[in-house]
Amino acid sequence: MAKNDLISGSIWDEYSNQVIRRMDEPTHQGEITEEMAEKIGGKLIVADFGAESCGDAVRLYWVVNETTDEIMDSKFKSFGCGTAIASSDVMAELCIGKTVDQAVKITNIDVEHALRDHPDIPAVPPQKMHCSVMAYDVIKKAAGEYKGVDMESFETEVIVCECARVTLGTIQEVIKINDLKTVEEITDYTKAGAFCKSCIKPGGHEDKDIYLVDILKDVRAEMEETKMKNAADASAAGESSFDKMTMVQRIKVIDSILDSDIRPMLMMDGGNMEIIDIKENIPHYDLYIRYLGACNGCASGDTGTLYAIETVLKQKVDENIRVLPI
């Protein structure tokens, strides 16, 4: 896709350079044959997944070492828009070197974050976020093919939007990370509620166990409660803001947020993190961290995971915090 193919420069500017490059020159696009898989000593897995809502489809190829379950190579074919191609390309890349069980944990948010040029700037317009959801689904389809189970067996959360296959956890995380305040914003970021609309609120053509309006209300209440608790903790410490705290107080506040919001997520995947130092670089506070366990060397440590840590600390501690892994 050439730049002139888009309607205007303003639309083009909504896409990261990574997305643009992978649209035109995807690194992992192609086909893997049985002969190619045998040559490198692995089992060929081919999975197809199509998104009925937009008509896009993707085919994922894996070569898996049957002894270690490691994905030795990964390629794709995408039948859809340029964003679907870019998302599928980075999805295939994220799979390589992981075990099948590790690959299943790659989410659509990981895919989108890996496409960003800057941690704070989305890689694609909100209406294109659903392209990374398709990449997330085809991974589960491939894992199901390899293990001989249905892809639904990998679902560990409730699917809120069946049309776009968006989970409860994804919606909750997106609301927190992006400080969303309306259902319309949730739809822009995740595509949940963009199609049949039954998941938005009661009264649609299909009854749901949980609706977007309820999720938004609950998460916003939780965010406000946490904000008030942090303010109360700071007040109890005799300090009104992060910049007036001592170094010990700053570490204590940050460590408390990490314990409640970040470390449980890391430990689920066998990882952790520690604070190394906090340095003033006015107007910023540079927080130096070290990843531990499975997080050490993980590809998302410099992308999705780092972005999540920094965003939570900016929201709950100080907006000028920058997180730097060493």
What domains, with CATH codes, occur in the chain?
A: 3-149 (3.90.1010.10), 157-236 (no CATH), 238-325 (3.30.300.130)
Q: What's the CA gap between 218 and 149, in Å, rounded?
A: 34
What is the structure's pLDDT at 325?
92
What is the structure's pLDDT at 8?
44
Backbone angles phi, psi at 302, to 5 degrees: -105, 5
What is the structure's pLDDT at 231?
65
Which of the four pLDDT bands, split at 50, 70 and 90, describes residue 1?
very low
Most confident residue range from 10-24, 152-166, 284-298: 284-298
Q: What's the CA gap between 6 and 203, in Å, rounded?
A: 38
Active-site amino acid positions: 54, 131
Quick one: average pLDDT of 277-301? 89
> What number of H helices and E strands is found in the chain?
13, 8
Q: What's the CA gap between 68 and 130, in Å, rounded?
A: 32
Q: Are 59 and 76 in contact, with CB atoms under 8 Å apart? A: yes
Q: Which of the pair, 209 or 234, is modelled with greater confidence? A: 209
Over 50: is that where the pLDDT of 248 sits?
Answer: yes
Quick one: average pLDDT of 19-40? 95
What is the structure's pLDDT at 5?
41
Enter the tokens of residue 91.
């999805």
